[in-house]
A and B are shown apart, each in its own frame.
Chain A
Amino acid sequence: MSENNTSLIRFDSIVKKFPDVLANDHVSFDIEEGTIHSLLGENGAGKTTLMNVLYGLYEQEEGTIYLRGQEKIIDSPTKAIELGIGMVHQHFKLVSSHTVIENIALGLKTASTMRPTKEIERKLVELAAQYGLDVDPRAKIWQLSAGEKQRVEILRALYRGAEILILDEPTSVLTPGETERLFQVLQDMASSGRTIIFISHKLDEVMAISKYITVLRDGRVVDTLKKESTNKRELSKKMVGREVLFDLERKPVDRGDKVLEVGNLSAFNDKGIKAINNLSFDLHEGEILGIAGVAGNGQRELAEVLSGLRKATSGKVFIDGKNLTNASPRSIIDSQVTFIPEDRINQGIVGNLTLNDNVILKSYRKPPFSKGIFINYRAVKEHAQKLIEQFDVKAPGPDTPANLLSGGNIQKLILAREVSLEPKLIIASHPTYGLDVGAAEQIRNLLLTQRENGVAVLLISENLTEITSLSDRIAVIYEGQLMGLVNREEATRSELGMMMAGTRIEQITHDQV
């Protein structure tokens, strides 16, 4: 190993496995002291996993972490904090009924016996002033905005003496103004010698504040680059990759009647912010329409509105000529629409019930599975057996609880169930997210088969390669708005990448070539 004096942290061949995924696959790179170093990658690329290893929340299976050239075993967050590492998680870890001071005090090993909060408050105000992280120390957490809570998290890390600060997708909860302010704080901290590790999948942000950028994809380091010597286009190419999809055979299919028509659709997210904004598109029989975009740009809300779980604030949804705007989930299911949900474990299956119970999740009220109020479990079992064989679901048998299956097999089970309902329209959200290559290919082939059978498929995915290789047309959304809709032949990767980063299709041809 080469000795590098400027390296503060060195990841050497870190491997972290989860039951179905290799989350970090021999990750090696260096982080220099006093810099802002970004980790860039799509969801599931392994960024957060790697940082959880550094922060002591996970233990790596292989590999070593060096801190200032010394090997360190970090087996708990306490150890990480002792070593001067602090982490601000994507979801805040604050006690909302307590004050800011009390949250800072939580877990502190030492505090003066007499009036400890005074001491904390004094130090807190000092730290806050130093970095412009102003927040009322006596306010209760629930009274604070997301941006203020984040400042409390950062202050807590600094209070505990963090020299290295990890921020996991810190801007996902912030308004543009708050984001700018955060960037100023981070830059001040870096210039005063602290090291910032910034996790993001947003190209603009990464280009705005980093000195170094490490791109991760499928758990592996693609490259570590200096900000000055790269650009957004190169980064997006590295981030999305050029993975070749084998065995995908797209037969020409004549597109048929219109199945889905979405007109000027808008809806709010859970926080009451507009998440989809005036979306319009249509989808025909025998066609796959890909919805591309970086996660969190309205994909989930779109799928929820189409499935009846979220109310649209304006606009319309027509399915097979019927107005199903804001219809109930059941009437949408009854119109032969099926879903492959984004969160397959929580929305797609009932984990502790058997495969028998899971295959009839949507058809349990229909013959042959039920007669009157009684379920005919013999017919159900036969059906489950048939689907298991036909869709090659690896399972000991139909009586197995669904949560004992691997992610890929759960997804095959869901797809088998949904396809067996003979749908006119399939809405597939991130259907191969987190699956290994083999399972992903099978799922993609199943979607193509459905297309050949004349089914309309709405494919929502962050995986650009998947979108471009499956779709007939591609719509790109950014902050809930349509950036452009192109035919598959006309789509170039870099154009799609630009649209995903928020450039409208009309603007691309002029200023970027």
Chain B
Amino acid sequence: MGKSLPIKITERPNPSGLVIIGVSFLALLSAFLVASFVFWAYGTNPIVAYRALFSGAFGGTYELSETIRRAIPLLLAGVGLAIAFKAQFWNIGAEGQLLLGTIAATWVALFSPVPKPLMIPAMFFFGFLAGAAWGLIPAILKSKLGINDVITTLMMNYIAINFVLFLVQGPWKGEHQWGFPYTDKFPQAARLSTIGTTHVHWLTLVIGVLAAILIYILINQTTPGYEIKVLGSNPSAGRFAGMSYVKTTILVMFFSGGLAGMAGVGEIAGIHHMLRNPSELSLGYGYTAIIVAWLARKNPLAVILTAFFFGAIFSGGDALKVSIGLPFQITDVFNGLILFFLIGSEILMNYKIEWRKA
């Protein structure tokens, strides 16, 4: 005998803002709930752990500044991913695009003839172009040849990582670094000033907020943005209306990769002041930015909030390591759980579950 389920699932074609926020909140809550079991498994009282996490992220001026510092690269890369996802281009390659930004910045700082006063603008400019170029390769491969964007963007990350490793161990290896795989330190003119004694390189933060606003306007008020929205929601209607999928995809990835590249410039010019091992440069910001853009539901303005939120998880994770002695990878566990529940909850947004009348 076939038995039917006591529930009925019906489509919800246009979830309201309230539903989206409610479901996202539920997903976050579930992630935190499951993470408590991880704390508990480490023998830590989850409530204690969350308290440490919270105070590590917001507990004082220093903590807050650390949160903002982590939020800066997430903001720039996240805004770039928001526009890519809006066009249904699955850019998993922000990490690599960010690293290309650091390479370009290093070149400007150490090897280019750019005069000192123009150094910082030139680093952001070339960083943007390098990230954009890295993003354009998968864009062209997908729009012209139909090659899967998830795979190409992801693979390009590994190329970028190994390219940085090659540079710091080979041709760009510093002369004053006692054999460590670093480039030489940047000259003072190639370093971003920070607020007080914190690590907040304010110029990148300003660029990030401006980028969020400009990309928001681009998507919602302009004709190229209109094409992105149409082709991202219904490509065949766009084609029927004479829009070019190739052009739009290239435009989108130009911005997406470029913004990730600028995030890389900010990190290297604001914090590290030299090119070094990619895992020290980025902490996986390019991957976390995927979750940042997703939680913001592809809205560039909302990325400002979600980037701050994930910045808090990074800096809170640091605190957990210091105060409770939990491994730093706990932040990765958080990020993973949050993305897992966010994607899992997508179905709850688009479908209603009703109990079937007996």
Interface residue? A403 (CB, 8 A): yes
Q: Are B226 and A403 in contact (CB under 8 A)?
A: no
Segment with Cβ contacts to A, from B68-76, B108-116, B133-141, B230-238: B230-238
Q: Are A329 and B240 in contact (CB under 8 A)?
A: yes
Determine how close the nearest CB of chain B comes to the CB of A318; give it in whole angstroms. Answer: 19
Interface residue? B329 (CB, 8 A): no
- CB neighbours (8 Å) of B240 from chain A are 307, 309, 329, 339, 341, 347-348
- CB neighbours (8 Å) of B61 from chain A are none
Q: Are A348 and B237 in contact (CB under 8 A)?
A: yes
Interface residue? A76 (CB, 8 A): yes
Interface residue? A361 (CB, 8 A): yes
Interface residue? A163 (CB, 8 A): no
Q: Are A403 and B13 in contact (CB under 8 A)?
A: yes
- With A329-B242, A350-B233 given, is the CB distance from A78 to B14 under 8 Å? no
Determine how close the nearest CB of chain A comes to the CB of B238; give it in whole angstroms. Answer: 8
- With A349-B237, A350-B237 given, is the CB distance from A404 to B2 under 8 Å? no
- CB neighbours (8 Å) of B223 from chain A are 364-365, 370, 373-375
Q: Are B14 and A403 in contact (CB under 8 A)?
A: yes
- CB neighbours (8 Å) of A82 from chain B are 2
- CB neighbours (8 Å) of A434 from chain B are none
Interface residue? B241 (CB, 8 A): yes
Q: Are B222 and A373 in contact (CB under 8 A)?
A: yes
Segment with Cβ contacts to B, from A87-95, A351-359, A499-507: A351-359
- CB neighbours (8 Å) of A362 from chain B are 241-242
Q: Which residue of B lies closest to A380 (CB)?
A: B226
**Complex partner residue of B4 from A75, A361, A373, CB under 8 angstroms:** A75
Q: Are A375 and B226 in contact (CB under 8 A)?
A: yes
Determine how close the nearest CB of chain B comes to the CB of A390; give it in whole angstroms. Answer: 21
Determine how close the nearest CB of chain B comes to the CB of A291; give it in whole angstroms. Answer: 19
Q: Are B233 and A353 in contact (CB under 8 A)?
A: yes
Interface residue? A401 (CB, 8 A): yes
A471 vs B330: C-alpha distance when bound (angstroms): 71
- CB neighbours (8 Å) of B222 from chain A are 373-375
Interface residue? B239 (CB, 8 A): yes
Interface residue? A142 (CB, 8 A): no
Instruction: Name the interface residues of A17-76: CB closer than 8 Å to any CB of B.
Output: 75-76
Interface residue? A328 (CB, 8 A): yes
A373 vs B218: C-alpha distance when bound (angstroms): 9
Q: Are B14 and A79 in contact (CB under 8 A)?
A: no
Instruction: Name the interface residues of A307-364: CB closer than 8 Å to any CB of B.
Output: 307-309, 328-330, 332-333, 339, 341, 343, 346-353, 357, 360-362, 364
Instruction: Name the interface residues of B1-38: CB closer than 8 Å to any CB of A.
Output: 1-2, 4, 13-14
Q: Are B242 and A328 in contact (CB under 8 A)?
A: yes
**Complex partner residue of B230 from A341, A348, A350, CB under 8 angstroms:** A350
Q: Are B229 and A353 in contact (CB under 8 A)?
A: yes
Interface residue? A377 (CB, 8 A): yes
- CB neighbours (8 Å) of A375 from chain B are 221-223, 225-226
A332 vs B13: C-alpha distance when bound (angstroms): 33
**Binary CB contact string for chain B from 203 to 229 against chain A (1 if under 8 A, 0 otherwise):** 000000000000000000111111001
Q: Which residue of B lies closest to A307 (CB)?
A: B240
Q: Are A347 and B226 in contact (CB under 8 A)?
A: no
A353 vs B13: C-alpha distance when bound (angstroms): 11
Q: Are A309 and B14 in contact (CB under 8 A)?
A: no
- CB neighbours (8 Å) of B4 from chain A are 75-76
Q: Are A377 and B14 in contact (CB under 8 A)?
A: no
**Binary CB contact string for chain B from 232 to 260 against chain A (1 if under 8 A, 0 otherwise):** 01101111111100000000000000000
A352 vs B241: C-alpha distance when bound (angstroms): 17
Q: Are B221 and A404 in contact (CB under 8 A)?
A: no
Q: Are A357 and B13 in contact (CB under 8 A)?
A: no
A306 vs B124: C-alpha distance when bound (angstroms): 48
Q: Are B239 and A351 in contact (CB under 8 A)?
A: no
Q: Are A357 and B242 in contact (CB under 8 A)?
A: no
A79 vs B1: C-alpha distance when bound (angstroms): 7
- CB neighbours (8 Å) of A351 from chain B are 13, 233-234
Determine how close the nearest CB of chain A comes to the CB of B220; give it in whole angstroms. Answer: 9
**Complex partner residue of B13 from A330, A343, A370, A401, CB under 8 angstroms:** A401
Q: Which residue of A lies closest to B231 (CB)?
A: A350
Most buried by A among B14, B225, B234: B234
A307 vs B236: C-alpha distance when bound (angstroms): 13
Determine how close the nearest CB of chain A comes to the CB of B18; give it in whole angstroms. Answer: 16
Nearest 3 CB-CB pairs, A to B?
A: A330-B242, A79-B2, A329-B242
7 sample A-B contacts, Cβ–Cβ < 8 Å, listed by A number: A75-B4, A346-B237, A353-B230, A357-B226, A374-B221, A375-B225, A403-B14
Additional A-B contacts beyond A333-B241, A350-B238, A377-B221 (20; CB < 8 A): A76-B2, A79-B1, A329-B242, A333-B242, A347-B236, A350-B229, A350-B230, A350-B233, A351-B13, A351-B233, A352-B13, A352-B14, A353-B230, A357-B230, A360-B226, A374-B222, A375-B222, A375-B225, A401-B13, A404-B13
